[in-house]
Structure formats: structure tokens, C-alpha cells
Amino acid sequence: MRSVNWLLAAAMVSGLSGTALAQTSPPPPTPAAPAMAPADDAGLTRSHWLASGFVGGNFGSTNNEFVTVDRSRSFDWGGQVGYLWRGVVGGEFLANFTPSFGVDSLGVLLVDNPNVNSYMANAVGVLPLGAQGQFQPYISGGFGGIQMRFANGIVGSGILGNGVVADVTNSSVSQTRWGSNVGAGIMAFAGKVGFRGEARYFHANTFTPDATNLANLVTQSLLSDLNFWRADVGVAFQW
């Protein structure tokens, strides 16, 4: 009988000890939170900067009131810097330079083809596609200046469409007028570096040439209502 009592007592002590140990044992450690992936510098909805450099060519032809200008394809290069709010809308500054704007026929003889440069302030709209917004079709357009410059002057003679006889020798002449542009293209990024390709239409305002210098009058006649297309491709950056 005593043995049974001892066994019961021992069982009760063991049970109470196990319960106490279970109550005082520390809780299991809390699992560590998963590491957060670093934030993408330029994602689908993040505001960011853009910059690009590109090369391409002008194409098309135009007739204006004073002079008929048929352009051959001519090389151009340029750059762009802009800012996108939430990666969707923003603004950009665009500069293009054509060292030799191809001219096939004119009413006067030229030493060489003119430089035609443009400087535009544009509004931009982007549609980010892909998990990180890496594909970005866009449209942009705005206003600025279009410059025509004959670095080595105009030499020769001819009759402009307004009846003015041009017989000029001039070392250099330049004219800049207001103009507009509109274009569309796509940017595609792998991280912060990517590709940019676009086609863009430029149009110089129509005005009546009023220069008293014949070289400037010829340049104004060519620049008035000048319009042309440009196609460019290049490298782009976002940050």
C-alpha cells in the first residue's frame, strides 16, 4: 500500500513540475520579417528625371510662299532633359542640330547648305507599361525657336518668289523665328539605362520677310513656314 502511495505521490509531483516548466518556458522566437526589396528609382508611379542623346535625320519636303525648298535627307543630332510627375506627365527641353540641312534646289546659289537648329519646351505624356514601367510609349509637343544659319554666307544671284533680285556676298547670316513641334515615340529601360526612338514634326511660323540686307532676306524667305520631319534614335537615362 505504501508503494502505491509513493507512486501516486511521485506521479503528482512529476505532473506539477511539467506544468510549471511548460508555464515558465520562453515562447518560441518570432520569425524574422522578410527583407524589403530596395525601392526602384524609376518605377510605374515614381516621379523621376529623364535625359537622352540621339542621332537621326530630317526628311520630307515643303513649299512656302517665297521659295520652293526640296530637302534631301540630312543628318541631325540632339539631346533632351525632362521630368515626369508620377512617371506619367511632365515637361522636357529638346534641342536638335542639323549641321547641313539638305537643299536640292533654290532660287539662289549657296556656298553650302544651312544649319537648321531647334530649341523646344514641351509637355510630355507617358503610358508606363510592364511590371516596373520599363516600356514607356509617349507623346510630346510644344513651342520654341527654329534657327537657320549660313555659316559661310550666301553667294550668287537669283529671283525670290517675292520678286526680289538676290545678288549677295555675305560671310555669315542667321535668323531665328518661333516654331512648334509634335512627336511620338517609345522609351524602353533595363534599370536606369535604356533606348529612345521617335518621329517628330517641326514647323516654323509663317511671316513676311522684312530684312533690308539681302542675305538676311534670303534666309528669312527660306525660314518662313519651314516644316520638316525628324526621326531619331538614341540612349536614354532615368533616375
Element (H, E) at 99: none
The residue type found at 136 is Q
- Spatial separation of the C-alpha atoms in residues 222 and 215, rounded to whole Å: 11
Q: What is the pLDDT of residue 38?
A: 46
The residue type found at 88 is V
Q: Which residue has the higher pLDDT, 24 or 117?
A: 117
Q: Which domains are delineated in the chain? A: 48-238 (2.40.160.20)
- Spatial separation of the C-alpha atoms in residues 132 and 44, rounded to whole Å: 6
State the residue for C-alpha cell 510627375: 85
Element (H, E) at 133: none
- Spatial separation of the C-alpha atoms in residues 151 and 83, rounded to whole Å: 34
Say if residue 50's pLDDT is above 70: yes
pTM: 0.74
Could you tell me the pLDDT band of residue 22, with boundaries at 50, 70 and 90?
very low
Could you tell me the pLDDT band of residue 71, with boundaries at 50, 70 and 90?
low
Question: What is the percent of the chain where pLDDT is above 90?
Answer: 43
- Spatial separation of the C-alpha atoms in residues 225 and 1, rounded to whole Å: 122
Q: Which residue has the higher pLDDT, 39 or 99?
A: 99
Which pLDDT tens digit goes with each residue over 202-238? Answer: 999 988 888 777 778 878 888 888 889 999 999 999 9
Q: What is the pLDDT of residue 80?
A: 97
Q: Are 127 and 136 in contact (CB under 8 A)?
A: yes
Is 229 buried (19+), middle (13-18) or exposed (0-12) by CB count in 10 A? Answer: middle
Q: What is the pLDDT of residue 21?
A: 43
Q: State the sign of the Cα–Cα–Cα–Cα dihedral 108, 110, 113, 116.
A: negative
Single out the residue of 35, 50, 104 nearest to residue 237, CA to CA. 50
